[in-house]
Amino acid sequence: MLKSRKIAVVGTGLVGSSCAFAMVNQCICDELLLIDINEEKAKGEAWDLTHGVPFMSQRTKVRTATYADCTDVDVVVITAGPAPKAGQTRLDTLGVSAKICDSIVTPIMESGFNGIFVIASNPVDIITYHVWKLSGLPKNQVIGTGTTIDSSRLKNFLSEHLDGIDTRSIHAYAMGEHGDSQMCPWSNVSVAGKSFLKMREENEELAKIDLDEIVEKTARAGWEVYNRKGTTYYGIASCVTGIIKSIFHDEKKILPVSSLLEGEYGENNVYTGVPTVIGKNGAERVVEIDMTEEEMDKFKKSNNVLREYMSHIGY
Ligand code: NAD
């Protein structure tokens, strides 16, 4: 008997419903379960999504569910959490987000769930660590969206300086906290295998780019969207869907998700954005890229920012 592919999305607000829409459009699973404390909202989303299914290339059965239904779910996506209000940072929502996660992860684990958690709720690195601790699952089964969205934003800014080259042909990572302290290891950025720093040596226009400014713009890009439309959701929904596709198809794509470090980069006991091989076992391996001393210093500082905030919820 074939087993159907099941995803549960917890939190059907703007991020959760956008994730669900991307998943149904890209036909990545057979069954999509929607869970929200606001059951009527989840029901409305399930119906709305179902009404579009006749126009998709494959059928996805979308319905509302309870935590008890997560027993045989392959991937649970957590997007429940308060969207930050104007003037707040993602870290300001930590206490509330952590409490919400307690009420979600405990019953899911009681259902017998043994799949993979993909966390988008902010502050994502710390919430992912919290879910890892609460669930008791091996680290490969708990993944945060980390700096996937930031890396995408970074590539978009770089593309603007590179005659519009496709962002998928640019290798560049934002790493560390999904937040203000994130950094970019420029010594690793490449286009068609050519080092970006080398390209700068050979091109006056590229040499003029202020790299620190690009990192700052990348970290602020979410707020630039926020200032114009009140919040962000399509970009992160695409990241979540991409992560799950890499799991389901065992793609072994390297994505800068939030992974637990246990010795990699000389760091321990912190979930942070690092290039990670994503395959059928979830976060299969952290890739340790070479960094200059200065880059490593920035990366470690960012991890220390995360540790400081972890201590606010008792870690
Ligand atoms: P939203 O307010 O639109 O939706 C949140 C949903 O969570 C609501 O439907 C609410 O009913 C539900 N919810 C609240 N408490 C719950 C509980 N205990 N159990 C189940 N459901 C519960 O917010 P949003 O814009 O969708 O953002 C959700 C989260 O995603 C926030 O933490 C936000 O910061 C985060 N986010 C992350 C990224 C990223 O890059 N990782 C990007 C955008 C947003």
Please say if the pLDDT value at position 89 is more than 90.
Answer: no
Closest-lying ligand 1 atom to the alpha carbon of residue 119: 41
- Which bin fits 121, alpha (ψ -120 to 50), beta or left (φ > 0)? beta
Confidence of residue 88 (pLDDT cuts 50, 70, 90): confident
pTM tops 0.85? yes
Confidence of residue 37 (pLDDT cuts 50, 70, 90): very high
**Higher pLDDT pick, 89 / 51:** 51
Residues noted as catalytic: 178
The finding on whether 76 has its CB within 6 A of some atom of ligand 1 is no
How many other CB atoms sit within 10 Å of the CB of residue 110?
A: 12
Strand-pairing partners, residue 268, are 262
Strands (E), the chain: 6-10, 31-35, 61-64, 75-78, 116-119, 142-144, 170-171, 190-191, 194-195, 253-262, 268-279, 282-286
Amino acid at 247: I
Q: What pLDDT, in 10s, does the model give residues 182-234? A: 999 999 999 999 999 999 999 999 999 999 999 999 999 999 999 999 999 99
Provide the pLDDT for residue 85. Answer: 78
Provide the pLDDT for residue 87. Answer: 76
Query: Does domain 148-313 sit in CATH 3.90.110.10?
Result: yes
Strand-pairing partners, residue 280, are none
Q: What pLDDT, in 10s, does the model give residues 113-156? A: 999 999 999 999 999 999 999 999 999 999 999 999 999 999 99
Report d(CA 295, CA 91) in Å as an integer.
Answer: 23
pLDDT (mean) for 259-281: 98
Q: How far is the CA of 82 from the centre of ligand 1 (A)?
A: 5
Q: Which DSSP state fits 179?
A: S
Closest CA to 286 of 266, 306, 310, 311: 266
DSSP-based three-state secondary structure for 271: strand
CATH topology of domain 6-144: Rossmann fold (3.40.50)
- Binding residue positions for beta-D-fructose 1,6-bisphosphate: 155, 171
Torsion of CA 118, 313, 147, 45, to 10 degrees: 40
Q: Where are the domains of the chain?
A: 6-144, 148-313
Q: 232 near 124, Cβ under 8 Å?
A: no
37 contact partners, CB below 8 Å, separation of at least 6? 80
How many other CB atoms sit within 10 Å of the CB of residue 181?
A: 16
Provide the pLDDT for residue 115. Answer: 98
